[in-house]
Structure 1
């Protein structure tokens, strides 16, 4: 049997065990939660910056954030001004899952359905009776003037 002795140092983070014991979350989800929880409240979050400090891509970070939001640990809101324009984003992070946040996420995800990708039907061109008529071309034959020019050229030589 192995026992773990914890050695505490400065700059540590205290996290509720509920997020760490949640079996519906993967270790990568728990790791990103712990990273976000360890940051200061005034910290500005950028997925691109987090991706630089980890082995995961920016897309992977967004996927994990969506998973945290789906399970009620994260709530992302977009604030708008009086004209309806986007002003700022506000995120809330909780150590325990919030059922209210889960309901908000479900409501958003059902209204913002992703388009169904289907293979489009390709139309075959109708080649049974192609148009074989030749359009009338204007004559570009300038030979009748060329012979006179050649005769004049020979005389001058």
Structure 2
């Protein structure tokens, strides 16, 4: 299905304060500004917008719907099957029509393709395009987001040619991190790229060994950056020299030792004082 974007001509990209101080969400305001910067007859695609804005197609559809519901964006399906999008400086009320407003539209003589990975839309794409927004689309997209499969995402990270992806996935698994959607996962990846890059020269076996050591023995909050600080240490010697905890003079070097002592009744936990004691 062919879709085009049209807007009222103001000669240059200028956003009215009325839009910026409206009750629209911050994301919808940002999308409005993005759309207004595009020329008339720009090939409209939620997927293209998602790539340029570094977000998901579902998110773009959600905020396009918000703009439409608030009268800033209107869809008009033509007899040819093409869908034109009209964006307004002022919200269009439900009882107003395009004819009564008589806005002036800028006619672009040259169509531009924005985004290096996308060329002009083919005729086939024009009639199979799924970016025509309906309430059914929004509900379906929301359902898709709920079905985010973290396990499958991990598999993709482990098979990625970039070793950092596998290191990050392994770290998350050891830490037991959970992510609700792809956007959360991508944001977390960005935070871990630098410390993961510092570990690229080490074997996965050594990295895993260090992570497991920290998981079992660290009595502090450790991160992927911490793994880099311990990666060259003799972990066996660390277990001997630095006890995990000392209870009334008795040293416990690992979490396993501590759990075993508790199971055998050698130590007890005082809930009120939040402290271990030997069971005399």
TM-score by length of 1: 0.51
Gap regions ≥5 residues in structure 1: 1-11, 82-86, 104-108, 115-157
* Aligned with 2:90 (options 74, 92, 96): 96
- Is 1:76 matched with 2:66? no
What residue is the counterpart of 1:21 in the other structure? 21
Distance 1:54 1:15 in 2: 18
Deviations for 1:44-100, whole angstroms, at most 9, x for unmatched residues?
11110111111220011011000000000000111124xxxxx20011100111113
Q: CA deviation at 1:42?
A: 2.1
More helix as a share of residues: 2
Runs of 4+ in 1 over 3 A off after TM superposition: none
What residue is the counterpart of 1:46 in the other structure? 45
Secondary structure of the 2:33 match is helix
TM-score by length of 2: 0.30
Secondary structure of the 2:94 match is helix
Q: CA deviation at 1:101?
A: 6.9
Distance 1:54 1:38 in 2: 13
What residue is the counterpart of 2:31 in the other structure? 32
Distance 2:95 2:68 in 1: 8
Distance 2:69 2:96 in 1: 6
Secondary structure of the 1:100 match is coil
Gap regions ≥5 residues in structure 2: 1-11, 98-133, 140-280
Distance 1:66 1:17 in 2: 21
Distance 1:48 1:102 in 2: 30
Distance 2:21 2:44 in 1: 25
Q: 1:74/1:36 Cα in 2 relative to 1: closer, same or farther (>3 Å)? A: same
Q: 1:73/1:57 Cα in 2 relative to 1: closer, same or farther (>3 Å)? A: same
Aligned length: 91
